[in-house]
Amino acid sequence: MDNGIQLFPPEASTFAPQVDALFLFLVAVTGFFAMLIFVLIVFFALRYRRRRPDERPEKTRSYMALELAWSIIPLAITMVIFVWGAAIFYRSRTPPPDAESISVIGKQWMWKIQHQDGRREINELHVPIDSHIVLEMTSQDVIHDFAIPAFRIKQDVIPGAYTREWFIPTQVGQYHLFCDQYCGTNHALMTGTVYVMEKKDYQQWLGGAPSELPPRAAGEKLFNSYGCMACHSTRAPSLGGVFGSQVSVTIDGSPATILADEGYLRESIVDPGAKIVKGYPNIMPSFRGQLSEEQIMDLIAYIKSLSGAATMPSYSGPTGATTQPDATPPPIGDVPSFPNRVNP
């Protein structure tokens, strides 16, 4: 990795050549028309200048072919640019289902990154070459922007929401990553390094240091410690298979059907009254301020792991009786207590 100033960073992902080709096409079109306009201005200024004070210009004629040409040709060029750019944008926003997910949290002024096996990094990102990598990102405080110039990708990282970007690294090496959104006093220091490694070296790196609990396991631990199963096996909807499904809810009293994605799950944790699942009471307490963004992401990872399950795991209540979720919502009663709730 060259630490000097580079006009064009290396093309180190599958998106880089596509973005560069479109960029160079835009530069060529812009340069051509800028030069054409400049030459015509000079030519017309000399050719049709007034040569004596009493000179009057001749009556002009309109040419339909010329009018059509300078309308249709620019339209065709702009449509080519639009379709080309839209195709790249769509591919860059549609990760494959088998992509390896990595969690990214931006905070003033660092990047906190966690792999699915629990390995954590600060301002560093290790990835294997020729692999589908998707970054699931959110911010703990203000708007940030996760950018890797060598990969030709960047994406806003927004507090209270989840965004993603994905890539396929194609060259082993080290590459800069930046925050591309001004985020405060030390914004310029919010940088890091991406390490693209051979797959065998990446596996060795993953096993080279003790990892923390994987996000799914950490989320399951939080789920149990907060006593969430006490409601989600009886008084609240089952979370088995909910991720990626269409959920019938009421929003301010109006019925709606929404997709249960990461954003919906996060909102249900911090603001459960915003969207109430149809047929269930609004009894879930808000966990805003009690859970960090990392813990919320862990919980979501656990819920996503249940996406293939038709029902939730069983729960042993205070009497020791094992209960399973019921397809019919139970009668509305008092909100159960949470004896296992702890502040993480």
- Domains, the chain, in order of start with CATH, read 1-41+64-211 (2.60.40.420), 215-323 (1.10.760.10)
Residues 152-180: pLDDT tens digits? 999 999 988 889 999 999 999 999 999 99
- Tokens 């769509």 identify what position? 90
The pairing of strands 110-114 and 100-107 is antiparallel
The token pair that represents 244 in the structure block? 């990626």
In three-state form (DSSP H/G/I as H, E/B as E, the rest C), the secondary structure along 208-275 is: CCCCCCCHHHHHHHHHHHCCCHHHHCCCCCCCCCCCCCEEEEEECCEEEEEECCHHHHHHHHHCCCCC
Strand-pair partners of 301: none
Residues 38-81: pLDDT tens digits? 999 999 999 888 888 887 777 777 888 888 998 999 999 999 99
Residues 175-233: pLDDT tens digits? 999 999 998 998 999 999 999 999 999 988 887 766 677 788 888 888 887 778 777 87
| Cα dihedral: 43, 45, 48, 52 (round 10) | -140
How far is the C-alpha of 254 from the C-alpha of 234, rounded, in Å? 25
pTM of the model: 0.70
Q: 177 CB contacts (<8 Å, ≥6 apart)?
A: 111, 123, 125, 146, 147, 148, 191, 192, 193, 194
